[in-house]
Structure 1
């Protein structure tokens, strides 16, 4: 009896080792991490134990051959225990290491050199970007849509990979690059590099791709996303564009001040109209009382009240005009806030050929230097210093 049980346990252990002895990456997604294994004959269920890098063990029992569990990215080990009919573990597999990796959309920066003659086309080239993993798939296609064979992909780190292609099947024309991470995370880069037989063909290809790239797929003149944000909440678009703290805070500050002023003027206008209505009602009441009683005192009171209606009306009109100006100022600041977000983008990083460091390009609006300002003479041997603004672009390394 003991011999049969021992043989059965050995069989289960052998099956567990055969089914689970491997180290593999698992890609985390929104619904968690899924562990799956092949069924063990005569198993009454399974107990899954997962150990993190600190040694903490999480246990879960299941009657199926898979579990879904929430795990943050990191290194783990797991083992599967087979339950007997009493719900107790009869045997465990060995601890099997695995790694949970968060699958993110890969990013690609421009190649340092992207123009090659066919005879100079390198067999190995480096791709720079972000979120590269061992599971990242590299797809290269030529201008005809034919896939270029990739011999190997060496992931140096999450930001660098080295790709080796077959030079016997050298690409031609504009070569596109596609990087795919698990969970349908992918990035496409058209015209990643250009290949031609002669310098003239390469120049023509470069001109053609540059022209096509300047069409509708190029950067828009108006940043609709940032403008929409600033339309909803002033300053939000500027914050989204990573503009300076001053440009982010100035518009909501101006709008709050202008809004407060408009609210005060609106309240003053309402008070003025109430006073005007009260004077008109009093005039009607005094005139009616005088006509009924014929009392001269009531006539004098009605006449005095009538003389107050005109200035109260003028005061109400003045408050109405001031309210209109306040609302106009408020609308002007709001419109400038939206236009600033839409037409004047924040700093952007660009790659300049021949350099390894990205350059930050920022729009610039400033006063002209003292030496560049023109002096205009006026009467009385005095002169006026003309104010002039400079609009340009600032490059920062």
Structure 2
């Protein structure tokens, strides 16, 4: 009895040790995935997840991973091994994990961004929004060389402290790039200006100020166009546009492609009918000439009268097929234009101000006022489409 109890105790500790290697992975779009090592001869597993308020949810599975949707917050989980009777034989310890909502970071202008090389601080604050422990900081000098970052201390979601290696002190205009998981990126050109002398610093400031608005929304986004060329809507998703603008282009192209395929099938069917009528006409004429049978003459004449309408029908189907391909090409081209020339909101610096300005393409439908009286108790509301650029401070 003692030996049997000892064996069960050792087995339980072995199972517990294996379960301690369970780990979560995080993704906003896919939810939270929990995985663990398989236990031999197990009858399944039960996963318990406890939120910060102590509420526990349970889920059974026969696999070694589960996919669950959880709101951002702090959690703990443990894995229970089920025996062949469906009862828990052992639990792992509670393992903490966090679910973090990955959002596109925002960068605010630095309180002071002009430094002489000798006065450049080793540690400085970055202000903005949506900072997390997973946020990556990339600093590059005017030549595109990356500036080594020694440490990143995230104080809260709006403040982080970055320490750089002053042995590789930058020179010129320094750009800042913040990267959150799931390809959420924000960039800021000329975030810091560094020069050896006051004269060089003033010249650098003048140069960057004169070109600060040149990176507005009119720049062509080659990366997004390449993505949308391969898969319509992919470029819009890469630019983090609205769900509507991301989904509308593949939807329109799928519908137009289906219509073009239907018209192509109709055109092929019409050409087959026309070819069949022409072949029948040749056969009937040949048979009549050989036999001089009046019945064959009537068949040949009737068949000949069918060739003209079948030809007209084939031409009509061909024209409709051309229109269908034109519509498909138009939607595909608009998809590329939207990805290339309307890359979504961008932040730019305006000379004379310290606050970044968000510049967004604007396309909206507005109602004219006053409305026009139509008939009875109804009014005709006049509409107009407006295309422009929206500036937000």
TM-score, normalised via structure 2 length: 0.58
- In the TM superposition, what are the counterparts of 1:169-248 in structure 2 within 5 Å? 169-217=168-216, 225-226=361-362, 228-229=363-364, 232=365, 234=366
- Write the distance in 2 (CA, Å) between the matches of 1:58 and 1:224: 43
Larger radius of gyration: 1
The number of equivalent residue pairs is 251
Per-residue displacement from partner, 1:131-153 (whole Å, max 9, x unpaired)?
A: 01111111111111111111111
- In the TM superposition, what are the counterparts of 1:311-322 in structure 2 within 5 Å? none
| Gap change, CA 1:63 and 1:224, over 3 Å in 2 | closer
Which residue of structure 1 aligns with residue 31 of structure 2? 32
Shift of 1:258: 2.4
Which residue of structure 2 aligns with residue 14 of structure 1? 17
- In the TM superposition, what are the counterparts of 1:144-183 in structure 2 within 5 Å? 144-183=143-182
Which residue of structure 2 aligns with residue 54 of structure 1? 53
Shift of 1:219: 8.0
| Gap change, CA 1:112 and 1:217, over 3 Å in 2 | same
Larger deviation: 39-48 or 168-177? 39-48
Shift of 1:210: 2.1
Structure 2 residue runs of 5 or longer lacking an equivalent are 220-341, 343-358
2:7 corresponds to 1:4:
yes
Shift of 1:28: 4.4
Per-residue displacement from partner, 1:120-175 (whole Å, max 9, x unpaired)?
A: 11101100000011111111111111111111111111101110101111111111
| Gap change, CA 1:124 and 1:133, over 3 Å in 2 | same
Per-residue displacement from partner, 1:268-327 (whole Å, max 9, x unpaired)?
A: xxxxxxxxxxxxxxxxxxxxxxxxxxxxxxxxxxxxxxxxxxxxxxxxxxxxxxxxxx99
Contact 1:108/1:130 (<8 A) preserved:
yes
| Gap change, CA 1:106 and 1:264, over 3 Å in 2 | same
The 3-state SS of whatever aligns with 2:124 is strand
2:63 corresponds to 1:64:
yes
2:100 corresponds to 1:97:
no
Shift of 1:65: 2.1
CA RMSD of superposed structures (Å)? 2.9
Which residue of structure 2 aligns with residue 258 of structure 1? 371
Contact 1:106/1:129 (<8 A) preserved:
yes
| Gap change, CA 1:132 and 1:213, over 3 Å in 2 | same
- Write the distance in 1 (CA, Å) between the matches of 2:119 and 2:96: 44
TM-score, normalised via structure 1 length: 0.57
- Write the distance in 1 (CA, Å) between the matches of 2:60 and 2:44: 7
- In the TM superposition, what are the counterparts of 1:265-304 in structure 2 within 5 Å? none
Per-residue displacement from partner, 1:187-236 (whole Å, max 9, x unpaired)?
A: 1111111111111211222222223323253789x98843x21xx2x1xx
The 3-state SS of whatever aligns with 2:66 is strand
Which residue of structure 2 aligns with residue 395 of structure 1? none
Shift of 1:41: 4.0
- Write the distance in 2 (CA, Å) between the matches of 1:225 and 1:151: 38
- Write the distance in 2 (CA, Å) between the matches of 1:224 and 1:218: 7
Contact 1:27/1:182 (<8 A) preserved:
no
